[in-house]
Amino acid sequence: MRDEMIELTGHEVIDETGGKIGKVADVIYATDTAEPAYVRVDFGLLKSHHVLVPLEDAYRSDHGALVVPYDKDTVKHAPKVPTPVALTRPLEEELGTYYAGTRA
């Protein structure tokens, strides 16, 4: 599983309708399980706006893109995170609250 997630870096992130969201910049692992939990997607002219997207319910398309159950606006307006990402329990809770009920 870990090797498969590392291979996501650089791949497109799309919503369930095929709408482009961005590219996977990094795979972030859960603090308590060390399992892949989020991908970092960078936005902005200089890729200076960094957000995390949960991997829960995400899957790979036939063409290798990561399909997530959120649209671009939802992802773009997610809480910003610093780089490098330091995933903490409070950040995980903030992201969980944000993404709850925002499915595309």
Each residue's pLDDT tens digit, 35-84: 899 999 987 677 778 999 999 999 999 999 999 999 999 999 999 998 88
Classify domain 2-99 by CATH architecture.
Alpha-Beta Complex (3.90)
Provide the residue count of the chain: 104
* Residue position matching structure tokens 């603090």: 31
pLDDT in the model for residue 74: 96
Q: Mean pLDDT throughout 16-32?
A: 92
Contact 5, 34 (CB under 8 A): no
Domain ranges of the chain: 2-99
CA–CA separation, 100 and 81 (whole Å): 18
**Mean pLDDT across the chain:** 88
Of the pLDDT bands very low, low, confident and very high (cuts 50, 70, 90), residue 101 is confident
pLDDT in the model for residue 1: 46
pTM of the model: 0.87
Contact 39, 8 (CB under 8 A): yes
User: Could you tell me which residues are beta bridge partners of residue 26?
Assistant: 40
Provide CB contacts within 8 A for 95, sequence distance 6+: 38, 52, 54, 78, 79
